[in-house]
Amino acid sequence: MKKGILSSIIILLFAGFVFYTGYASIKVPSASYGILVSKTSGVYPKLIENGKFCWRWEFLIPRNSKLYIFSDTPRHFKQAFNGELPSASIYSSLIKGNPDFSYSFDFEFYLKIESENLISVFKTENFKSDEELYSYLENVSLKISRDLSQKLIEMNENTVIASYNVPEIIKSLDLEKKYSPVFLKDVYIKKANVPDLRLYNIARSSYDKFQSVVDEKLSEYASAHAEKIIADENSVKKLTKIGEMLKQYPELNALLSNGSTADVLKALNDLK
């Protein structure tokens, strides 16, 4: 009788140990998901959630399984994007008052990976911790801030916009598709300083005209200078030939010393 009771207790304890060891759901905190990876079965195809019963035999084998925990809470990011329009300092110098052609934007993002996509992203991106998932989403938020900044600048090209319809902008850029499977839960434009693009385009056009004039003048100068170089070179060649002729015909020295200009010119013409 006592042996039977003891055996039952041992069996119950063992069964409890087996149940607890394989009870995956209890290992996952609330508002989080678990991804099970084991040496025997690879990546378990379903997310493990707290409150949803899941028992897996892979946990019974020592050092066989690892459970990766990821928060389901949207991650908050702040991104700033600053810079200036191409050749801004050059164009600004052409306008009275040297207008500022720089831009600056501040954004806030709330991003997450939807639960149905978490396992596939886990496989493709190969992140193994919640911190790595955070870094992945942070990098996406940086790319989105660049896309938004370029779009806001383009929108102000012909008119100054005081407020922005963020959902419409996101839709026009098709950001949900571009950065799928990242879910853009909330996007806020906290600051948007855009330069006067009309004035910038005027300055750029003026600079292009100025540069055309400079190029034309440089071309004229180069052409004239080239002609002078050619003339000088011909003179040097002629003088060299004269020197050679004086050595070959000493009688020319007599003509030069006597100052007979006509005879000298005649002798030089004979050299051609």
Single residue among 151, 170, 195 that ends a domain in this structure: 195
Pull the structure tokens for residue 102.
């720089």
Q: Are residues 92 and 112 in the same domain?
A: yes
Res 74: pLDDT: 95
Residue 108, pLDDT > 90, answer: yes
Condensed to tens digits (0 to 9), the pLDDT of residues 35-45 reads: 999 999 899 99
Pull the structure tokens for residue 141.
């938020």
Res 34: pLDDT: 94
Residue 51, pLDDT > 80, answer: yes
Q: Are residues 51 and 162 in the same domain?
A: no
Pull the structure tokens for residue 44.
């378990």
Residue 10, pLDDT > 70, answer: yes
Residue 252, pLDDT > 60, answer: no
Residue 130, pLDDT > 90, answer: yes
* Residue that has been written with the tokens 């571009």 in this structure: 178
SS3 181: coil
Res 90: pLDDT: 80
Q: Are residues 170 and 80 in the same domain?
A: yes
Q: How far is the C-alpha of 197 from the C-alpha of 257, rounded, in Å?
A: 76
Residue 118, pLDDT > 70, answer: yes
Q: Are residues 227 and 257 in the same domain?
A: yes
What pLDDT band is residue 258 in, cutting at 50, 70 and 90?
A: low
Residue 227, pLDDT > 60, answer: no
Contact by Cβ (8 Å): 113, 33: no
Bridge partners (DSSP) of residue 109 are: 77, 187
Tally of structural domains, the chain: 3
Q: Are residues 184 and 101 in the same domain?
A: yes
Tell me the pTM. Answer: 0.70
Domain membership of residue 182 (yes or no) is yes
Res 127: pLDDT: 87
Res 3: pLDDT: 67
Q: How far is the C-alpha of 222 from the C-alpha of 34, rounded, in Å?
A: 74
Task: Give kind and range of the element (H or E) at residue 147.
Answer: helix 130-155
DSSP string, 166-181: HHHHHHHHTHHHHTTT
Domain membership of residue 121 (yes or no) is yes
Domain membership of residue 200 (yes or no) is no
Instruction: Give the residue, 178 or 230, on which the prediction is more confident.
Output: 178
Domain membership of residue 202 (yes or no) is no
Single residue among 48, 68, 88 that ends a domain in this structure: 68
91 lies in which domain range?
Answer: 75-195
Q: Are residues 96 and 30 in the same domain?
A: no
Q: Are residues 187 and 93 in the same domain?
A: yes
Single residue among 195, 215, 230 that ends a domain in this structure: 195
Condensed to tens digits (0 to 9), the pLDDT of residues 152-193 reads: 988 887 777 777 899 999 999 999 899 989 999 999 999 988
Half-sphere exposure (CA, 13 Å, Cβ side) for 28? 28
Domain membership of residue 12 (yes or no) is yes
Residue 268, pLDDT > 60, answer: no
What pLDDT band is residue 68 in, cutting at 50, 70 and 90?
A: very high
Condensed to tens digits (0 to 9), the pLDDT of residues 201-214 reads: 877 777 677 666 65
Res 145: pLDDT: 95
Which of these, 201, 190, 191, 195, lies nearest to 103 by C-alpha position?
Answer: 195
DSSP string, 20-51: HHHB-GGGS-TTEEEEEEETTTEE-SS-EETT
